[in-house]
Amino acid sequence: MSNEEEKKQPDAPPDRAADAESGAVESTVAKREMVAAEPEPAQPIAKAEEPALVRAAYEHPLAIRITHWVAAISLFVLVASGLRIFRAFPSFGTKIPEKVLLDIPKSLTLGGWLGGALQWHFTFMWFFAVSGVVYVVYQVVSGHYRTMLFTLSDIPGVWPMARHYFFFGPKPAATGQYNPLQKLAYTSTILFGALALLTGIVLYKPVQFSWLAFLFGGFHLTRVWHFAAMCGFLAFIPGHLIMVVLHGWANFYSMLSGWKREPEYQE
Amino acid sequence: MITRLEDKELKRRSRRQLLKLAPVAALGVFAFPKVSDRLIAAGVRFGDWASGALFRSQHLAQTFSNTDVVPFEKFPYNGYDVLDPEVDLEKWTLTVEGDVQHPGEYKLAQIQALPKLNQNTRHVCVEGWDVVGAFGGTPISNFLTLVGANTGARFLEVECVDDYYESIDMASALHPQSLLCYEMYGQPLDRGHGAPLRLQMATKLGYKQAKYLDTIRVTNVLKPGRSGYWEDQGYSWFGGL
C-alpha cells in the first residue's frame, strides 16, 4: 500500500505521524490544538474541531495519466494530419480511375500540404507508439488493468448501463471504478490503438514488414484497416468527452491529479 | 480503493500529483510554428535513421505474376512538372561522376548490354495509392560495377533532364530489386514514364524513382539543399518501403 492510499488516523497524537507526506498537516493540526487548548495541551478536548474527512480515491497512477495525455495529444495530431494525408488520395480503390470517397474539409486537417502532414504524422506516431506500449506494459505489470479490462463477466452489465445512458433506464449500482460499458469502451480503444499501430507499421514499411502486411490482407487493404482504426477512435472520443463533461470536474481532474474526490462507487 | 482524508490533505496530494504531470506540457512547444517546423522535420529525420537501420539489404519485396499486373493504361503517369521534357533519345547519354574509376558518358546500349532483370513489383505512391507494374532493366549494382564505383560510398545522386533530382542510400541502390529501368510492360520506356532511363526500386516510394536520368554521381557528401526535389520540401529522405 502506498502512502497515497494510507488511511490517516485522525485520533493519532501529532507526534506519531508515520507518514512523512502528512507531516505538514499534522503540525498545523497540532498548532491549532495548542491555541484552542492552551492550559491542557495534551488533552484532545474539542472533538468538534476535528476536520471532517473527505472520501477520496487515487484512481490513476502517474504512468496512466502521462500516457493518457500523451496519447490524447498524439491522437489529435495523428487524426488531423492523417486526414490531410488521406486528401492526397481520398479513395481506397484504384488510382485510374480515381473516385473521391470522402472530401475532407481542409480546415479539419493539419500540416497544410501532404509533406507537412506527413511530417506531423511521422513525428507523433513515435509519441503515440511509445505511450501505447508503456501504457499496456504498465497496466499488465502493475495489475492495474483489472480496473478497466472488459471481461466475460462484464457482458451482462452492458445492456443495463446502455439502457441507462441512452434510454433513461434506471441507473445500475456502481460496482467498481468503471461500469461494464466504460470497460468495453476503454478496452476497445486499446484494440483500436493496436490496430492503428500495426497497420501504421505496414503502411510505413510494407516491404520490411511484409509478413505483417500479409496478415492484414496486403498493403492495399491495410490502408483500409488503418482508416478503420481512426474511425474507431472517432466513435469513442465524442462519447468519452460527453461523459467527462456530464460527470463533472472531479471526474476530469482525477485524470490530471490522480485523486478523485467523493467517488460515486464504494469499497 | 477509497481513502478518507482531510480536505486540505486531499488538495495537497492532488496538487503534488498534478505537478508530476508537468513534463507532458512540454509537448506544448508543438503549438509554436517556428519551433514545431523544426521538430517535425527532426521527427522525419529520426524516422529516416530508423528506416535505414531496419532496411534489410537482401530482403526481397513481393513480386507478382503477369496476371496481377495492372493494365498499362492504368499505370499512372506522375510527374512533378512536365511529362515530356523532350529528351533527344538519339543523342542521350548518361553522365557518370564522383567516386568511380571510369567517369564519363555512357550510352543506353551499354546499359542494355548488362544482365537484364524483369520484375513485377508494387509501385507505392506517397499519396497512398499503389499499382503493380511490370518493369525491365539492369540492377543498379551491375552498372556500378561497370563504372567501377566505390560501393563503400554512402550515396547515389541522380539528376534528371527535367531538373528533378534525387539521392539514395547506397544499401538501397545495391538492393537486387533496384533497377536502372529502360522497359515497362516489355516495351521501351515511353516519354511519360521517363524515357530513356529511370530508377525503379521495389523498396522505395514513387518519388524516389527518378525519371529521365541525366547524371549519376557516387558520393559521400550530398550537395547541400539538394537531397531530392520533394525531400527538400519536407518529404522523408529515406522514402523506403
CATH code of the domain containing B175 = 3.90.420.10
Q: Which residue of B has its CA nearest to A57?
A: B2
Nearest residue to B79 (alpha-carbon basis) of B227, B226, B207 = B207
- CATH of region A60-260, choose from 1.20.120.420, 1.20.1250.20, 1.20.950.20, 3.10.20.90: 1.20.950.20
* Residue-level pLDDT at B45: 94
**Which of the four pLDDT bands, split at 50, 70 and 90, describes residue A43?**
low
Q: Which residues contact B88 (CB under 8 A, 6 or more apart)?
A: none
Q: Which residues contact B226 (CB under 8 A, 6 or more apart)?
A: B157, B165, B167, B232
Query: What tens digit of pLDDT does each residue of B106-149 get?
Result: 999 999 999 999 999 999 999 999 999 999 999 999 999 999 99
- Sheet containing strand B213-219, strands side by side: B104-106, B94-98, B213-219, B155-160, B165-169
Domain contains B25? no
Residues of A in contact with B13 (CB under 8 A): 4, 21, 58, 257, 259
* Residue-level pLDDT at A147: 87
What distance in Å separates the CA atoms of residue B241 and residue B51, rounded to the nearest whole number? 9
Q: Which residues contact A16 (CB under 8 A, 6 or more apart)?
A: none
* Residue-level pLDDT at A89: 93
Domain contains B6? no
Query: What tens digit of pLDDT does each residue of B62-104 get?
Result: 999 999 999 999 999 988 778 888 888 889 999 999 999 999 9
**Which of the four pLDDT bands, split at 50, 70 and 90, describes residue A70?**
very high
* Residue-level pLDDT at B89: 87
What distance in Å separates the CA atoms of residue B191 and residue B234, rounded to the nearest whole number? 28
- Is pTM, for the whole model, over 0.90? no
- Name the B residues in 75-134 with CB < 8 Å from any A CB: 75-76, 122, 124-131
What distance in Å separates the CA atoms of residue A99 and residue A93, rounded to the nearest whole number? 7
Domain contains B194? yes
Mean pLDDT of chain A: 83
The three cell numbers locating residue B128? 497512398
- Name the B residues in 197-236 with CB < 8 Å from any A CB: 202-203, 230, 233-236
What distance in Å separates the CA atoms of residue A113 and residue A117, rounded to the nearest whole number? 6
The three cell numbers locating residue B4? 478518507
Number of domains composing chain B: 1
What distance in Å separates the CA atoms of residue A249 and residue B169, rounded to the nearest whole number? 54
What distance in Å separates the CA atoms of residue A232 and residue A184, rounded to the nearest whole number? 13
What kind and span of H or E run contains B169?
Answer: strand B165-169
Stretch B43-51: mean pLDDT? 95
Contact B40 A89 (CB under 8 A): no
User: Which amino acid does the sequence have at B184?
Assistant: M
What kind and span of H or E run contains B4?
Answer: strand B2-6
Contact A115 B122 (CB under 8 A): no
Domain contains B4? no
Mean pLDDT of chain B: 93
Query: What tens digit of pLDDT does each residue of A206-222 get?
Result: 999 999 999 999 999 99
* Residue-level pLDDT at A165: 83
How many Cβ atoms from other residues are within 10 Å of residue B237's Cβ? 22
Distance of CA A10 to the CA centre of its chain: 33
What distance in Å separates the CA atoms of residue A39 and residue B101, rounded to the nearest whole number? 102
**Which of the four pLDDT bands, split at 50, 70 and 90, describes residue A171?**
confident
Stretch B197-212: mean pLDDT? 96
* Residue-level pLDDT at A267: 67
Instruction: Tell me the shortest Cα–Cα distance from B55 to chain A, in angstroms.
Output: 7
Stretch A25-53: mean pLDDT? 52
Domain contains B224? yes
Domain contains B14? no
* Residue-level pLDDT at A153: 86
* Residue-level pLDDT at A49: 62
- What residue numbers bound the domain in which B44 lies? 34-233
Stretch B218-239: mean pLDDT? 93
Helix or strand or coil: residue B125? Answer: coil
Contact B14 A257 (CB under 8 A): yes
What distance in Å separates the CA atoms of residue A239 and residue B63, rounded to the nearest whole number? 45
Q: Which residue has the higher pLDDT, A93 or A66?
A: A66
All structural domains of chain A with their residue ranges: 14-53, 60-260
> Is B6 an 8 Å CB contact of chain A?
yes
Residues of A in contact with B80 (CB under 8 A): none
What distance in Å separates the CA atoms of residue A195 and residue A197, rounded to the nearest whole number? 5
Query: What tens digit of pLDDT does each residue of A182-193 get?
Result: 899 999 999 999
Domain contains B50? yes
Task: Give yes or no for residue B164 having a pLDDT over 80.
Answer: yes
CB B78 within 8 A of CB B65: no
Domain contains B18? no
Handedness of CA B214, B208, B79, B76 (dihedral sign): positive
